[in-house]
Amino acid sequence: MPLLARPASGIVAACMNTRFPAERLLLGPGPSPVPARVLRALGAPTLGHLDPQYVAIMDEVCERLREVFRTRNALTFPVSGTGMAGMECLATNLLEPGDEAIVGVNGVFGGRMKDVMERCGATVL
């Protein structure tokens, strides 16, 4: 009998018959385990960006970001994006033409970061 045609048995059958997969400890680079409180938050109703409750939440988040970064800059706000977007945001806001920057290039992301910093006018070491 081909491997895929065999009926599932034991724990495999139990997992396949359930609507949700069994909880697992994920230790790789991704995907990562998601805490139960985050999963509950994902199940909450969606708020529009003009909703007063959304505005209040955003104000609180911005205030906490100012505390974390020890700034009083009223234009401090979160940006939704990938890790690379965050790294590019950092480089474009901190580097000026002629600055020196050290980038460890040991793969795709390091190569991208080197390119970003060079486009910002930095001399990459």
Q: Is the pTM here over 0.95, yes or no?
A: no
pLDDT value of position 86: 87
CA dihedral 97, 103, 109, 115 (to 10 degrees): 30
Q: What is the phi-psi region of residue 40: left when phi exceeds 0, alpha when psi lies from -120 to 50, beta otherwise?
A: alpha
pLDDT value of position 71: 95
pLDDT digits (tens, 9 = 90+) for 98-125: 999 999 999 999 999 999 999 999 999 9
pLDDT digits (tens, 9 = 90+) for 81-92: 888 898 899 899
What's the distance, CA 7 to chain centroid? 39
Please work out, in degrees rounded to the nearest 5, the angle formed at the alpha carbon of residue 41 by the alpha carbons of 35 and 44.
150
Paired tokens of 52: 């007063």
pLDDT digits (tens, 9 = 90+) for 36-83: 899 999 999 999 989 999 999 999 999 999 999 999 999 998 988 888
pLDDT value of position 74: 92
